[in-house]
Amino acid sequence: MLKNTGNCFLLIGFNKVDKDIYMKTYDVIVIGAGHAGCEAALAAARQGANTVILTDNMDHIAQMSCNPAIGGIAKGQLTREIDALGGAQGIVADLASIQFRLLNRSKGPAVWSPRSQCDKVCFQRAMKMLLEEQSCLDVRQAQVTGFIIDSGMITGVVTELGDKIYSKSIVIATGTFLAGLLHFGMTSLPGGRTGDSSSEKLAVALREQLKLRIGRLKTGTPPRILAKTIDFSQMETQGADREEEGFSHFELPPTLPRTIQRELPCYMVYSTAETAELVRRNIHLAPLFQGKIKGIGTRYCPSFEDKVIRFPHHEKHHLYLEPEGEFTGEYYINGISTSLPPEVQIQMLKTIPGFEKAVISRYAYAIEYDFIFPDQIDRTLALKHWRNIFPAGQINGTSGYEEAAGQGLLAGVNAARFAGGLETVTIPRELSYLGVMVDDLVTKDIIEPYRLFTSRSEYRLRLRQDNSDLRLCEMAKDLNILPADKYRMFAEYRNQLNEAIALSKTVKHNGKTIFAHLKSLMGTYREGCPLPCPIDVLKIDLKTWLGRKIIRQLAILAHYDGYLEREEQSVSKLHKLENWKISENFDYDSLSGLCNESKMKLNKVRPMTLAQAGRIDGVTPVEIALLQVSLTRMLKNNNGK
């Protein structure tokens, strides 16, 4: 555990160069203050590591560059996991919420996914204040242009003003800024997003100084329009859900910015056949279809012109109109991301009901940017050839605020542990969606921006949004990233829940245990709804938030009774394979019986365990068995010595 001495930096004295009047040396430098960078900096500082976060623009910390929303399918589960691990995204999303919904309510609890529409300005201000209030953390405006390398080790960074900042480890969380290029039709401009410059010199440094293999990815954003020019009467209203729990398992800080209007409506509308025809007539002006964009976009969030061309049998497409905040008239049009020229965007909106007189406040655009092929990192998020460098977020080939924040938290944890001389850690895929995502990134071939889905996990019944605290808070305490007051709240809930579970499985009513009666709730309990039997013996007070949380958990556990046990058996088998550690320098080429393709992939990925090796595409069960025999033989030889 890193010791927090209260003195969170070391003053190393005056430099002879006038512009470096004094210089701090840090344990951890975090490059970038987006969603990954913020979580990384907070996680490192919570462990007592002397940390600095560097951002190009202090006023754009935690900017919601695209959709002003947190959560969604699998993403909401991940945000709740971040919160259980002591992270900030869930807290800030709850503070900035202007509409909360629990998606997939018509399905089983295993795939329920929280989602919150946020006031993007409130979100920024709350996150910025969290950073500024965190002990052992400095927030500084500076653009990093290169690395300081001494005797084959990276010891710090250089900024555009020539400042040299030294540290023991570095988190790189640059988002879409690395050689970022914006496309408005056939007009292209450098930038990390509109209004912010791209990071050109750092992109070169990653290639030339660190010798990393770099690729190009692409994403995009839709136009924003002004509320006073929208005819909402032609649209279907989508209201908020009345849910007792948000993203955070804990009490929200009373001193941080918070929205007042918590249930603003969103709206739904369809594009028309005329919209699609207009796109087809102007497809020659789309840079994606003219070969101007080299980066690869995600299949799961295609541009509008991509949808029109790929799905010509669909005359119309669903669009969602979402407010950008409670004190702004700007609306985000979810579903019409495009790189077509501004004049075409104006014409497109006029073909959509309610948008005939809409005024665009910000044009849509596509952006392509550099990323690191993630086979160059391991499951701790450390670079394999630079062990004190931890990339996180879109630089690793992912998309989304939630995916970025999760990686940032893990990178920050391990950067601080490395700096403190401690062993770095991994998050198991059977324990969290964060573990699933990181394992996928470093094991699979990433050919497009990676997006998390519930279907990516083999253990969806146990990786639910409702039990992320039960899965992860104990680990967070052990890693020293969950504050003591939050752990006390969790422990009180867990202890009372365990007592209620034990009683419900032993006490009977009309010949059946209370637990068996609770199965009739089908996994759902809402405040005030009738229960199938008396529960007084469980010592649960349903008038309290804690009591209602416990009965909700009991209803879900009863609903999945039996299924969870079978899933646990599968997890036990996985644990056996995870316990087989593979040396970093294992010689796959000398192992007879492996085909050349498998040798190539194993050498590329360098799996840390036998279980991870089994998840590499193309490596067969027979080859895993051969690898296991070889590891057994090596273990015996080592023991013999």
- Relative to beta strand 51-55, strand 24-31 is parallel
Q: Distance (Å, rounded) from C-alpha 489 to C-alpha 528?
A: 24
CB 69 within 8 A of CB 400: no
Domains, the chain, with CATH or none: 10-218+369-478 (3.50.50.60), 484-564 (no CATH), 579-640 (1.10.150.570)
| pLDDT value of residue 9 | 40
Residues 67, 323: Cα–Cα separation, whole Å: 10
Query: In the beta sheet, which residues pair with residue 24?
Result: 11
Task: Report pLDDT digits (tens) over 436-485.
Answer: 999 999 998 888 899 999 999 989 999 999 999 999 999 999 999 999 99
The residue-averaged pLDDT of 93-110 equals 96
CA–CA distances in Å: residue 159 to residues 166, 208, 213, 248? 11, 17, 23, 36
Least confident window among 406-420, 486-500, 506-520, 609-623: 609-623
Number of Cα atoms under 13 Å in the Cβ half of residue 533 = 19
Kindly tell me the sign of the dihedral angle through the C-alpha atoms of 85, 86, 89, 93: positive
Q: How far apart are CA 421 and CA 92, in angstroms?
A: 32
Residues 6 or more apart from 484 whose CB is under 8 A from it?
A: none
DSSP 218-272: EEEE--EEEGGG--GGGSEEE-----S--S-SSPPPTTS---S-----EEEEE--
The closest of 243, 239, 246, 241 to 266, measured between CA atoms, is 239
Between CA 104 and CA 112, with CA 108 as vertex, the angle to 5 degrees is 40
**Chain segment 160-202, per-residue pLDDT in tens:** 999 999 999 999 999 999 999 999 999 999 999 999 999 999 9
Q: Considering the entire predicted model, what is its pTM?
A: 0.92
Beta-ladder partners of 147: 157
Predicted local confidence at residue 639, as pLDDT: 67
Angle at 114 between CA 112 and CA 117, to 5 degrees: 150
Pair 538, 546: CB distance under 8 Å:
no
Question: Residue 243, Cβ neighbours under 10 Å: how many?
Answer: 13
226 strand-pairing partners: 330
- CA-nearest of 117, 139, 118 to 130 is 139
User: Percent of the chain, pLDDT > 90?
Assistant: 82
Q: What is the pLDDT of residue 584?
A: 86
Q: Which pLDDT value is given to residue 620?
A: 84
- What are 217-263's pLDDT values in tens digits? 999 999 999 999 999 999 999 999 999 999 999 999 999 999 999 99
How many other CB atoms are there within 10 angstroms of residue 14's CB atom?
A: 11
Asked whether the beta carbons of 136 and 28 are under 8 A apart, the reply is no
